[in-house]
Structures are given as C-alpha cells and as structure tokens.
C-alpha cells in the first residue's frame, strides 16, 4: 500500500468508517511492514482517547460489564472502541464467540467498534499488537477505548501498561482475597468492581477487599488515589452508572495530579524500548542469515576474538 492509499485509509477511519478501522487494526496486528508508516500517519490524531482496561479472573463478568459500560457511555454520547483480548488456546475459541454474541446489540451502532484479538500466533502477543490497535481507535476518534483482558499470569500486568485507568473485577466465592493478593491486584487496580453482587458472599468480598486496601495504604506515601469498590450486577446493568462515575473521577484525579502524563510517558518508554529491541533482533537475525555471524564466530574459534569482543563488534556494525 503506497503513501496516498494509506492516507486515504486513515482519512476514512477518521470519518468513522468501520471497515477502514478494521483494516488498519488488521495491518498493525499482523505487524505488516507498513506498521511504522501507519503509526506515523496516525500519530497526529492520537492522544485524545481515554484508555480503560478491564481485567479479572475468567468468568467474573468482564464481557458482560464491558457491554453494560458500552451502553452507559453511549448514553452520554461518547464513541467507544472495545478491544477484547483473548489469550485462549485454539481449543477454547468459544469465549471469543460468546463475546461477539453478547455484544451484538451494539453491532449496528456506528459509535461503537468492537474487535476481538487473539494473542496466540502474534509475535510479542498482547504487548505488541494491542497498543497499535488502541492507537488506531484513538486516531479514529473514539472517546473511550475499553480493553478487556483475562487476568491470568502476566496479562493483568500488561493491561496496566496500556491503560490510563485499570478496573479489576472480582466476584463472590472466587477465593478473591488470597488470589487478589497473589496477583498483586491491589497495586494495579484504580477501581475495584465486585460483580455478581446478586450472589451470596458479595459483602464478604467487599469486606476482604477493604481490609486489604487499608493494609496496603498504610505502606503508601504521597498523594494516593483511594481505590473505590463498586458493586455491580452487570447482567442487569445494576451499579454500572457508579462504575462510570468512578472512571470519570479517576480520570479527573489523573489530570489533577499530572499522573496521566506520567503514565503515558511510562507507556511510551515501554513501547519505544520494545520496538527498538524488536528491530535489533531482526537485524541480528539478518546477520545470522548472512555470513557475517559465521565469520565472527570463526574468529572466536580461531581464538582471535573472545565471544564478548565478537558480540561488541557485531553491535558496532549494527549501529554503523
């Protein structure tokens, strides 16, 4: 795709044409050779969207909550893009399908764009493709970008790197207290949601959470945001307005404390470092495919060079 075609595609995405948005996301997601050109074309139009991450254990109600949040935010006239990250194995594609079905009520709304992304099969997975996709949605003029990730292993931490505001969902009877402490959700959550509040044990979950927050706060210094705990019954839309209020309050807090800039700067550092590393990797792979690495290695064998000096030499050549 030549420059003018790319500009035209970006133009159509900015007019809100869903097919153009989808095409751009596909291009960046597959890390096409155009990815740098696309980023350059999008950058002037980015920086406006509020990026909200939703994470939590499997089945806690993230997709249901995302759908309910969509309805509430659309009610305020905001345009909302959703990235549903699916880290699942090839054998459990059902969750993805479920997300789609649950969100079909928004399917014909031009103010909504929903995209499921399977991390499997992507080089660098979530950490690579998602910021690119979020950038597309930002440039396309979506006011809010919601990113849903299942909180397993690293992914909870990953979403923090992406989002201005991180919502951690818990539900009664999931052994929340211990699990939460383990996964370090106290540090990553800006807003806690105890979903499935229609079930027994919601009070206990809220109680446990409050205790943990109080303990953690004792160790904190400086201007700290008080992480609110909102109870919801996402399946019925109950409590969702309170979540929207909490998101707004957190956004205002971020602005008032310079924290939004700080978070975005931290994010940019991560992203630039990841891109640089990836490029170096690629260049090194080129050297390996060519004979240069073989030549240097032969000199190591011949004891003309030690391996460290050999590596330094290769790096110097990469820079040159």
Ligand X SMILES: Nc1nc2c(ncn2[C@@H]2O[C@H](COP(=O)(O)OP(=O)(O)OP(=O)(O)O)[C@@H](O)[C@H]2O)c(=O)[nH]1
Binding site for ligand X (CB under 6 A): 58-64, 95, 98, 150, 195-196, 198-199, 233-235
DSSP 190: S
Q: Nearest to residue 133, comparing CAs of 149, 116, 150, 121?
A: 116
3 binds, among Mg ion, ligand X, none (CB under 5 to 8 A by kind): none
Q: CB-wise, 60 or 160, nearer to ligand X?
A: 60
Q: How far is the CB of 32 from ligand X (least distance, A)?
A: 28
Q: How far is the CB of 215 from ligand X (least distance, A)?
A: 27
The site partner of 199 among Mg ion, ligand X, none (C-beta below 5 to 8 Å per kind) is ligand X
Return the percent helix, strand and coil in the chain, to nearest 5.
Answer: 60, 15, 25
d(CA 14, CA 10): 6
CB of 292 to Mg ion, least distance (A): 47
152 vs 318, beta carbon nearer ligand X: 152
Q: Nearer Cβ to Mg ion, position 63 or 232? A: 63
Distance of closest approach, residue 141 Cβ to ligand X, in angstroms: 26
CB-nearer residue toward ligand X: 195 or 227: 195
The DSSP-derived string for 125-175 is: HHHHHHHHHHHHHHHTT-SEEEEEEE-STTHHHHHHHH-SEEEEEE-TTS-
For Mg ion, the binding residues (CB under 5 A) are: 62-63
Q: Min. distance of Cβ 207 from ligand X in angstroms?
A: 19
**Residue 17: both structure tokens together:** 């044409």
Q: What burial class does residue 23 get, using C-beta atoms within 10 Å of its C-beta: 0-12 exposed, 13-18 middle, 19+ buried?
A: middle
Residue 162 CA neighbour count, 13 Å, CB half: 30
Residue number with CB closer to ligand X (103 or 254)? 103
> What radius of gyration, in Å, describes the C-alpha atoms of the chain?
22
Complex with ligand X: residue 130 or 195, whichever CB lies closer:
195
Q: How many Å apart are CA 159 and CA 59, to the nearest integer? A: 18
Name the binder of 181 from ligand X, Mg ion, none, CB < 5-8 A by kind.
none
Contacted entry of ligand X, Mg ion, none for residue 191, CB cut-off 5 to 8 Å set by kind: none
What burial letters (b/e) apply to 258-278, b meaning 16+ CB within 10 Å?
Answer: ebbeebeeebeeebeeebeee
- CB-closest chain residue to Mg ion: 63
The CB-of-62 to ligand X minimum distance in angstroms stands at: 3
């Amino acid at each position: 795709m030549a420059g003018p075609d790319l500009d035209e595609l970006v133009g159509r995405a900015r007019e809100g044409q869903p097919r153009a948005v989808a095409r751009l996301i596909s291009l960046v997601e597959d890390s096409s050779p155009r990815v740098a050109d696309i980023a350059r074309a999008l950058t002037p139009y980015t920086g406006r969207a509020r990026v909200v991450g939703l994470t939590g254990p499997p089945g806690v109600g993230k997709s249901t909550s995302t759908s309910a949040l969509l309805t509430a935010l659309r009610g305020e006239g905001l345009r909302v893009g959703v990235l549903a990250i699916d880290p699942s194995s090839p054998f459990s594609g059902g969750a993805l399908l479920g997300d789609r079905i649950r969100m079909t009520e928004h399917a014909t709304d031009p103010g909504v764009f929903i995209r499921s992304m399977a991390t499997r099969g992507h080089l660098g997975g979530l950490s690579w493709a998602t910021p690119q996709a979020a950038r597309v949605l930002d440039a396309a003029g979506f006011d809010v970008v919601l990113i849903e990730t299942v909180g397993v292993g690293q992914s909870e931490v990953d979403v923090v790197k992406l989002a201005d505001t991180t919502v951690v969902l818990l539900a009664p009877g999931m052994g929340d207290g211990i699990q939460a402490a383990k996964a370090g959700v106290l540090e990553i959550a800006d807003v806690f949601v105890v979903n499935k509040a229609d079930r027994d044990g919601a009070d206990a979950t809220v109680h446990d959470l409050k205790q943990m927050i109080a303990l953690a706060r004792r160790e904190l210094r400086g201007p700290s945001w008080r992480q609110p705990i909102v109870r919801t019954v996402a399946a019925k839309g109950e409590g969702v307005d309170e979540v929207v209020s909490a998101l707004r309050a957190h956004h205002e807090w971020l602005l008032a404390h310079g924290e939004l800039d700080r978070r975005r700067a931290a994010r940019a550092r991560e992203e630039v470092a990841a891109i640089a590393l990836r490029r170096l990797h690629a260049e090194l792979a080129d050297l390996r495919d060519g004979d240069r690495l073989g030549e240097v290695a032969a000199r190591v064998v011949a004891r003309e060079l030690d391996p460290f000096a050999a590596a330094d030499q290769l790096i110097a050549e990469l820079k040159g």
